[in-house]
Amino acid sequence: MIEKYINIDENFDIEVELDIDEDVQTYPWLFSLFIGSEISDEIKSEIIEIVEKKPFIKYVGMRLIDGWSELYFYSLNSKNIQNEIHSYLQQNSFKFESGVVKDTKWEFYQGNLQPSELEFFMIESQKIVAMLKEEGDDITKEREVEHYVMFDTQTQMQRFVENAKTIGFEFKDEISSDECEYGVAVVKTHNLLYKTLYENIQELNELASKEHGYYELWSTTLVEK
């Protein structure tokens, strides 16, 4: 499953493959391909197809930084990975660089492609926003938004609620799930723009973490244009 998101700390675009087979995760070689322009989805697909013609190599993601398209693959072997793709890029007059390094523990993938917890929340939030926009929602309009947080104990939950009130949230209801008995819905009136969602989710996630809880996204009602 390919996910696209924005790197929160440095504000550049990332595409990452999240569903990677266990055998692929044993591939020890990282092949990096840097192209000196923003490439189309069609060109990207052609590049991936050419590289993956080699046996035991898998595309894992891409970053778009300062006008450069950085594509990343993991491979079982380090030899002859670059030949065919170099020929393709030269024939099409692309400016490019490439390299192969050993990364047995997949440290680059985990540290530079895999979304952080907060980035994952924003990925899922943008999916909700996209569905609302398809229904005609004006995401710039403020409305009551419910945010959900789960805890191991009632005491943790109660401390969280009191802290959440200090940053503008109100208690709505206690909730539970099969995995967790103690949960809470807190509400706040705000719009659904990226910056607004990010700020509110970040604040709640930090408060939840202090009480060893975990944030579980949000829901809201449709506001038509």
Q: What are the E-state strand segments in 18-56?
A: 29-35
Q: Which residues contact 114 (CB under 8 A, 6 or more apart)?
A: 16, 18
Task: Please report which residue ranges of 25-173 form alpha helices under DSSP H.
Answer: 41-51, 83-91, 107-108, 117-134, 154-165
Q: What tens digit of pLDDT does each residue of 82-112 get?
A: 989 999 999 999 999 999 999 999 999 999 9
Tell me the pLDDT band of 185, cut-offs 50, 70 and 90: very high
Cα 48 to chain center, whole Å?
A: 21
Q: Residue 154: how many CB atoms within 10 A of its CB? A: 12
CA 72 to CA 31: how far, in whole Å? 6
pLDDT of 159: 97
Tell me the pLDDT band of 28, cut-offs 50, 70 and 90: very high
Q: What rounded mean pLDDT belongs to the chain? A: 95
Reply yes or no on whether the pLDDT at 11 is more than 90: no
Supply the pTM of this predicted model. Answer: 0.84
Dig out the tokens for 169 from the structure. Answer: 């949230």
